[in-house]
Structures are given as structure tokens and as C-alpha cells.
Amino acid sequence: MVIFGWRTTIEQLRMLTLVCGHCHHQSAHNLFRRYTKPTIFFIPLFTIRSTYGLQCTFCGVSYDISRMHAHQLV
């Protein structure tokens, strides 16, 4: 019997001060990377999907950004 699954991990890259596109307040934004790995017997193997995003700490809205945009912000 093989136990197979997926593990999604969120890694915080940086905290930035930006103007939110949703609430239009200048506030801290969490720049994060979300990646998914397949697991066998609860051991993560390799990354199959990686996305970047920003989350406003004032209103809580979260949206995905491109990898190039994330590297420019870092």
C-alpha cells in the first residue's frame, strides 16, 4: 500500500509597503510564494507548481502576481 498525496506550502518572502489596488490604502503587503509538491509516505518529493502573490494586511485581499513581478519587488 502506497500513501500518495499533495503538500502545499506558503513561504513569506518579504513585507512591503504598497498602495492596495482593492481598498486604496497604503499598508503593509505580504509577498509570498506558494508551492505544491507531491508526497509519498508524507515525504515531499519535488516542486510541481509555484505561484507568487501579494496580500494586503489592511483589507486582507490576496491576488496572484507573475514570477517576474515578484522578483522585481524583492
Residue with cell 490576496: 62
Nearest alpha carbon to residue 12 among 58, 44, 59, 57: 57
- From CA 22, how far away is CA 18, in angstroms rounded? 12
DSSP state letter for 47: -
Query: Mean pLDDT for each consecutive 10-residue tract of the chain (74 residues)?
Result: 89 94 94 95 92 95 93 89
CB atoms within 10 A of CB 18: 14
- From CA 60, how far away is CA 34, in angstroms rounded? 17
What integer pLDDT is reported at residue 9 of this predicted model?
95
The whole model's pTM is what?
Answer: 0.82
- From CA 45, how far away is CA 41, in angstroms rounded? 10
